[in-house]
Structure 1
């Protein structure tokens, strides 16, 4: 495949218990890979193998970026080992795993490839998993990472006005939520699709670098869950854990506040969404509804496709084609973005 960035996707579903719907369980987080289209399956508890950065890449494996609850939060950053002539665009990867497992270090090889093959600074972020904290901890941690990057743009040779985000499965949900809630302050009036008027939660958190913007300039969402209002969604144990051990139908307003489509507006950045029509883990109706919400809200760019024959994780030619389409999208709306007004601080 040479220069082709493929999607390595290995997903399975845990067995049902007590008649409940099995929860999505990403055993090896799907990541854009240089090695092939399907990675070997690994136990969810496995530690990532040690990784040596390739020639031309300087890898900061454990960068402390701020606080998450009562502990420190880290991210991994890959940059060229020789400072570039001008700041580079950024690609942020958010791992999947049903919000309850996964590891940013699974993507070290991939974010290094973002540097050598694509000309981006590569970033893989950590976020608190549901055994540690429920929603909105996960999106707070992702937003903290974006703020940190802007605050340290010069140190890592990155352009703070050109940041894209790429997420798969649960990571796709967080990438999408990041995209639709850029710089959203807490306690804003939000109208839900059930007609309720509620106050927005503190999605930004207080982990650090508060003056800096958490906006991103484009989103690539691979088969992320986006509709928490259906009876089927109510049966997912991973979603129940995300919502503080409450079923989605028992907390309908909270469930909607966790849905990225709730916040879509005409100022939402460009979105690229792909979902397989054979996905039995997250039904493709999730992405169909989300894409419709984006379009109805006036989002100017929504590139959405249902991919025939693909499940929760793409393989073969479909993976290769979709990955190339995603990178072309990011190049257009991130790398080649014309910056008329620098994005550094919140307005």
Structure 2
């Protein structure tokens, strides 16, 4: 299918946020995960269309949590996971998966979004074989990964009941979602007005007139997909609303592009739609200790309907 959105050049212009990888949870470091049950499983033809799956030691269908890594849509790896989190999920009887996707140098956006959608549907199609309860699947991820898990959680279901492909007939919806350091919108005019330290306008008026640009910006602005039927959400950010702008100029852009004001805007919209939402940042705690506690609560507490 021909991509309806702008050329790669335009995507580089309009999505330069993706060039920045910012560690919004500096205290968390990648650690060695448990032994992988199914490693580098292919869900497509491209080398990046793979994922790892860890099976919990449980009898009968069990919930699943999916991790999607960040890296600005240009780098990162599904191999880089928080091993302690994987272990917590497995010990709680929850399977774990980590998804890879095509980067911008491989295919134009929204290829990454299409990939993680397909990967989720592929995993759901493996439910009987791998002992997954397909009605209890959640996801978490940071930065670009946070954008991708939010896209899955809040976008309308991509399931196509009329498709000849059994994978495409599977749902793309989630039970719960926990994005970290995620941006609410790709409208850089909003960024300039609402994000401290972000001084440079993201676009020029003439660029917005190019075919497909406005549609792409809307599609990738996750706040536009929020609706009343969206799953419970837990968001976390690495700074408070009143945190000072970093003195190191090299750190300002990464800090700004993952600012908590994005989360505040998302929380307001989720609340308006009646969606359960929790927002954590330094000096602002929630009823849940962290994203793991939140996801476990919703994966274990929901019914199997």
User: Where on the TM-score scale, by shorter chain, does this alignment land: which range?
Assistant: 0.7 to 0.9
Whole-angstrom CA distance in 2 between matches of 1:253 and 1:274: 28
Aligned equivalent of 1:160: 134
Match of 2:21 among 10, 22, 26: 26
**Cα contact 2:102–2:111 (8 A) shared by 1:** yes
Contact 2:51–2:78, Cα closer than 8 Å, also in 1: yes
- Determine the C-alpha separation between the residues in 1 that align with 2:209 and 2:153: 25
Q: Is the 8 A contact 1:295 1:302 kept in 2?
A: yes
User: Does the C-alpha gap of structure 1 residues 100 and 256 become closer, same or farther in structure 2, counting only changes over 3 Å?
Assistant: same
The alignment status of 1:280 with 2:256, answered yes or no, reads yes
Alignment match of 1:228 (pick from 174, 186, 193): 186
- Superposed CA offset, 1:115-160 (max 9, x none): 5433211100011111112221111111111111111012222111
Q: In structure 2, how many angstroms separate the alpha carbons of the residues matched to 1:249 and 1:258?
A: 17
Could you say which residue in structure 2 is the equivalent of 1:39?
A: 29
1:269 aligns with 2:231: yes
Q: 2:18 touches 2:71 (CA, 8 Å); kept in 1?
A: no
Task: Give the match's secondary structure for 2:256.
Answer: coil
1:111–1:123: 8 Å Cα contact kept in structure 2?
no
In structure 2, distance between residues paired with 1:329 and 1:274:
12
Q: Relative to structure 1, is the Cα distance of residues 112 and 282 closer, same or farther in structure 2, using a 3 angstrom cutoff?
A: closer
The answer to whether the 8 A contact 1:231-1:249 is kept is no
Indicate conservation of the 8 Å contact 1:94/1:175, yes or no. yes
Aligned with 2:107: secondary structure?
coil
Match of 1:329 in 2: 294
* Change in 2 beyond 3 A, CA 1:212/1:123: same
Q: 2:112 aligns with which of 138, 150, 156?
A: 138
| Partner residue in 1 for 2:168 | 210
Given that residues 166 and 220 in structure 1 are in contact (C-alpha distance below 8 angstroms), is that contact kept between their aligned partners in structure 2? yes
Aligned residues: 264
1:39 CA displacement: 2.9
TM-align CA RMSD: 3.7
Structure 1 CA distance for aligned equivalents of residues 231 and 279 of structure 2: 14
Q: Aligned pair 1:307/2:265, yes or no?
A: no
Aligned residue number for residue 79 of structure 2: 105
Determine the C-alpha separation between the residues in 2 that align with 1:22 and 1:228: 9
Contact 1:78 1:115 in 2 (8 A): no
- Deviation, structure 1 residue 98: 1.1
Q: Gaps spanning 5+ residues in structure 1: where?
A: 1-20, 41-48, 187-205, 241-245, 310-317, 341-347
Is the partner of 1:268 in helix, strand or coil?
A: coil
Superimposed CA distance per residue, residues 253-276 of structure 1 (whole angstroms, 9 cap, x where no aligned partner): 421221111111111111111222
Q: Which residue of 1 aligns with 2:13?
A: none
Cα distance, 1:283 vs structure 2: 2.1
Greater fraction strand: 1
Structure 2 residue runs without a partner (length 5+): 1-15, 193-197, 244-254
Partner of 2:11: none
The Cα of 1:23 is off from its aligned counterpart by 6.2
TM-superposition CA deviations, 1:148-181 (whole Å, max 9, x none):
1111012222111100100101111111111011
Return the alpha-carbon distance in structure 1 between the equivalents of residues 218 and 269 of structure 2.
Answer: 13
Does residue 293 (structure 1) correspond to residue 255 (structure 2)? The answer is no
Secondary structure at the counterpart of residue 124 of structure 2: helix
Contact 1:76-1:123 at 8 Å conserved across structures? yes
Alpha-carbon spacing, 1:305–1:210, altered in 2? closer, same or farther (3 Å): same
The 5 Å alignment of 1:51-66 reads 54=34, 57-66=35-44
